[in-house]
Structure 1
Amino acid sequence: MTTVIDGKAAAGDVVAKVKAAAEQLICATGVVPAIAVVIVGQDPASQVYVSSKGRKAKECGFRSIEHALAADISEGELIALLEKLNADPSIHGILVQLPLPDHIDAGKIIQTIAAEKDVDGFHFINVGKLGTGELKTAFVPCTPAGSMLLIERALGRDLSGLNAVVVGRSNIVGKPMANLLLNANATVTVAHSRTKDLAGLCRGADILVAAVGRPEMIKGDWVKRGAVVIDVGINRVGENAGGKSKLVGDVAYTEAAERAGAITPVPGGVGPMTIALLMVNTLASAYRAAGRMPPSI
């Protein structure tokens, strides 16, 4: 029987642990974890994401500081703000909400954030640490980190000897996901749009992670019976009479659920874990700033 992996419940468990650990840090040292979120312009989706991150930070007992900037702010002005936040010892995490306006180089902005405050895990130093297995001090991108927790929750055992296929090779999800699985001793294949016989490759996966950004691309008969399927995709398709679209993942859920041993739904799977792991990274930064070892969450 297929297990539906409840991302909301898993995220709730993570947030409860973060909240408890934050309370311990505050009581012991007076250090209050703090995250600064920078948003440029008025993109509606970005506004929603920033608001949800702020609410979750406050739920965890953190300070949440939002810097809402005009869409026409210069790249130099944005960099100056980030350098100020880098130098502020009371700020432990810095997040710049993407996308940025076309006149700003997003890559340059990401690398401006101090690596020790890069709670998104995109700075080259954190990317390098993850790639070399230095997970104790690396900030891992939140979506793959959350996905990894769901995989471990579903399997409840060592991943050694298992075949994992990651469909998607982005720097934000695909590549870090592959590195996390490798670090857990899985045998990993990264597939993409130019992979030959993608369906056949997926059929051999004990762990299948779909992060390709194509609605329901992974069909049910691509899934090995008993496999753990993690669907990272969030795609809006179609519109009903009221003009509302439907959210679907990169996996044809109904078909895949008939074969998978465990599978994440969309919505309610990986999504809630992403913000929860952002809180984990911010907490870890605050602990390190206070000269303490971050707790295991």
Structure 2
Amino acid sequence: MQLLDGKLVSESILAEIAEEVSARKKAGKKTPHLAAILVGGDPASQTYVASKVKTCEQIGFASTLVRLEADTSEDELLNQIRFFNTNDDIDGILVQLPLPKHISEEKVINTINPEKDVDGFHPISLGRMVLGQPTFISATPNGIMMMLAHYNIDTAGKNCVVIGRSNIVGTPMSILLSRNTNPGNCTVTLAHSKTKNLKELCLQADIIVAAIGRPNYVTADMVKEGAIIVDVGINRIDDASKKSGFRLVGDVDFANVAEKCSYITPVPGGVGKMTICALMKNTLLAVKDR
């Protein structure tokens, strides 16, 4: 079993981005500028945004973080996005999800200028991705593809099961893996919580991408020997032995599944690191395209 080490891979790619940003600055070109909006005080969201801002600093990006209270109105948030849309110094915009229930995520995503949609969530971005046109690819699926490429994993002709059908991860992941690319050329089954024969499908899979948001959902009896496991999940479960009172686990029962795999991503330290890495690549692409 070999770990797909997102920390190691992302450090390598981020170093390349930092070199390119340094060269841009020396040439008098614009510094990439990422604007992030955080609504409310969800601890996990605060951690994610802080990590993104810190990464910007490390690789030489400019960043702006706007913190809004949990009771911020939808109109106020949309107006903040519109301000960033028209600000020529801002190259990429991200709004940290999830949002408070009184705010429509669909409206928020649709309001972001597609030319600054570095999360790759806008319908135009997703549509272009489906058609294979140049666009911002959703950060998590893009990060997974970058990881598979880094480890030179041969995916052509492999059976793949993607568990989870969200527009952010599962659906774009299934499309990217089925495309005539490298990595890619998989035969993909997009499964979800209502799939009746999930265990049987998984046992036939050479690659499993777990993105269903349920802790330890994929168990050892669902995985065949030598499978490749990509765990997108990051879930908090109670753990009295930890100072925080919880620990992070993925959607895969790592302790029991790992011994059957050829490759597997850890949680944390796997896909999450690659998501941030892909976000930075999209932001660099945004400033170059402009």
TM-score range, shorter chain: over 0.9
Task: Give matches, 1:127-276, under 5 Å.
Answer: 127-134=126-133, 137-154=134-151, 156-183=152-179, 184-241=184-241, 242=243, 244-276=245-277
The 10-residue stretch of structure 1 (56-65 or 21-30) with the greater mean CA deviation from structure 2: 21-30
Deviation at 1:265, TM superposition (A): 1.1
CA–CA distance in 2 between the matches of 1:238 and 1:104?
29
Corresponding residue SS for 1:277: helix
CA deviation profile, 1:101-129 (whole Å, cap 9, x unmatched): 22222210111000010111100000101
Deviation at 1:29, TM superposition (A): 4.3
CA–CA distance in 2 between the matches of 1:52 and 1:257?
27
Deviation at 1:30, TM superposition (A): 2.0
CA–CA distance in 2 between the matches of 1:168 and 1:190?
7
CA deviation profile, 1:42-80 (whole Å, cap 9, x unmatched): 323222222111110111101001112233332222222
> How big is the alpha-carbon RMSD for the aligned residues of Structure 1 and Structure 2?
1.5
Give the aligned partner of residue 61 of structure 1.
60
AA at the equivalent of 2:288: Y
Task: Give matches, 1:13-162, under 5 Å.
Answer: 13-134=12-133, 137-154=134-151, 156-162=152-158
Give the fraction of aligned pairs with identical amino acids, expressed as a percent.
Answer: 47
Structure 1 segments (4+ residues) deviating >4 Å: none
CA–CA distance in 1 between the matches of 2:222 and 2:85?
46
Query: What 5-or-longer segments of structure 1 have no aligned partner?
Result: 290-297
CA deviation profile, 1:250-282 (whole Å, cap 9, x unmatched): 111122111110111111111111111111110
Query: What 5-or-longer segments of structure 2 have no aligned partner?
Result: none
The 10-residue stretch of structure 1 (37-46 or 208-217) with the greater mean CA deviation from structure 2: 37-46
Give the aligned partner of residue 293 of structure 1.
none
Deviation at 1:159, TM superposition (A): 2.4
Deviation at 1:218, TM superposition (A): 1.0
**What is the TM-score of this pair, normalised by structure 1?**
0.91
Deviation at 1:243, TM superposition (A): 5.7
CA–CA distance in 1 between the matches of 2:50 and 2:153?
36
**What is the TM-score of this pair, normalised by structure 2?**
0.93
CA–CA distance in 2 between the matches of 1:90 and 1:21?
19
